[in-house]
Amino acid sequence: MYDESDSRGGALCEILWADSQEFGSKQSLSAEDQELARTFLFQPRRRQFETGRTLVRRFFSQKLGLSPENLRIAVDATGKPFLLAEGLGLPYQFSIAHSGRIVVCAFSKDIRLGVDIERVRRSYDWLRTACAVLTADEINTLLAYSPSRRARAFYKLWTKNEALAKATRTGISQTVRSRRKSAVEVGKPDVSGWTSAPVKTRSSYVGTVVVESVTCRFETRQEHLTSNT
Ligand SMILES: CC(C)(COP(=O)(O)OP(=O)(O)OC[C@H]1O[C@@H](n2cnc3c(N)ncnc32)[C@H](O)[C@@H]1OP(=O)(O)O)[C@@H](O)C(=O)NCCC(=O)NCCS
C-alpha cells in the first residue's frame, strides 16, 4: 500500500512531459492499452496516447513499486482516465494533455487538477477562435497585451480554460459562453480557490496546469522514453 507524507506541507503537483516521437515499441503498456492504441489510425495520435499511458504507468509504478504493465487504467463516462487503485490506498489524481509531439501528465494528491498544452501556431487565426470561445473579460485581457504578444497570451488563456474544464469536467458539457468562472479569475487563488501555473516544455508550446488549492508547489521534469522502465 502506498504511504508517503510530504514533510514540507502544502499541495504538490508533479508534472512529467515527454516527446512522443521517442516512443518505441518496447514501452510498458498493458494489453488493454495496446488494444486501445491500435484504434488510433493516425500514427502521431497513437503515439500521443501511448506516451501518455507510459508516463502515467511510470509515475505510479515508481510510487507503488509495481510493474507498470500490471496497473489498470480505466476511462469514465466523460472520457477521463483514472487508475483502478482499489486496495492500493493511492490518493492521486492525474490529467493528460498532448499537442504535436509533446505529451504532459500532471499528478496531485487528493486535489482536483487539469492540464493542457498547445503548440503555438503563428499562422493560426486565434482572434477568430478567441471571439467564439472566450468571455468578454478574457478578450479584454488579451487586448491589453502588445500585438506581438497576443498570440501567446491567447494560448495561455486557452490552455488555462481547457485545463480547468478537465479538472472540473463541467466545462466539457457546457458551452464556453456559459462558463461561470473565466480563466482570468482562476489565476487568482484568493478569489477562486484554484492555482494555475505554466507548464514549461519546448519553447514553441504553451501549457497550463490548474489545481484546486490556494498554495501549491509545481515540479516539472522531462522523461525520456528511450530509457528503460
Ligand atoms: C475533453 C477535452 C478536454 C480534450 O481536450 P483536447 O484538446 O481534445 O485534447 P488534450 O490533448 O488536451 O487532452 C486529451 C486527454 O485528455 C484526457 N481526457 C479526455 N476526456 C477527458 C475528460 N472528460 N476530462 C478530463 N480529461 C479528459 C485524456 O487523457 C486525453 O488523452 P488520451 O485520449 O490520449 O488518454 C476537450 O475536448 C473538451 O471537451 N474541452 C472542453 C471544452 C471547453 O469548455 N473548453 C474551454 C476552452 S476556452
The domains of the chain, with CATH numbers, are 11-222 (3.90.470.20)
Which has more pLDDT, 146 or 126? 146
CB of 37 closer than 6 A to ligand 1? no
Residue 4 pLDDT class (50, 70, 90 cuts): very low
For residue 133, which atom of ligand 1 is closest to its CA?
48
Listed residue (115, 124, 108, 117) closest to 201, CA to CA:
117
The CA distance from 228 to 148, in Å, is: 42
Residue 94 has pLDDT above 70, yes or no: yes
Which CA distances in Å does 201 have to 65, 98, 102, 151? 28, 11, 8, 18
Q: What is the pLDDT, as a whole number, of residue 200? A: 97
Question: Which whole number is the average pLDDT over 60-82?
Answer: 87
Question: Which whole number is the average pLDDT over 210-219?
Answer: 92
Q: What is the pLDDT, as a whole number, of residue 170? A: 58
Residue nearest to atom 35 of ligand 1 (CA): 49
CB of 133 closer than 6 A to ligand 1? yes
Residue nearest to atom 38 of ligand 1 (CA): 172
Q: What is the pLDDT, as a whole number, of residue 46? A: 96
Cα 94 to ligand 1 centre (Å): 13
For residue 52, which atom of ligand 1 is closest to its CA?
34
Residue 175 has pLDDT above 50, yes or no: no
Residue 202 pLDDT class (50, 70, 90 cuts): very high
Residue 59 has pLDDT above 60, yes or no: yes
Residue 78 pLDDT class (50, 70, 90 cuts): confident
Quote the pTM value. 0.88
Q: What is the arrangement of strands in the sheet containing 216-222, beginning at the earlier edge strand?
A: 92-99, 102-109, 11-19, 216-222
CB of 80 closer than 6 A to ligand 1? yes
Residue nearest to atom 26 of ligand 1 (CA): 80
Residue 197 pLDDT class (50, 70, 90 cuts): very high
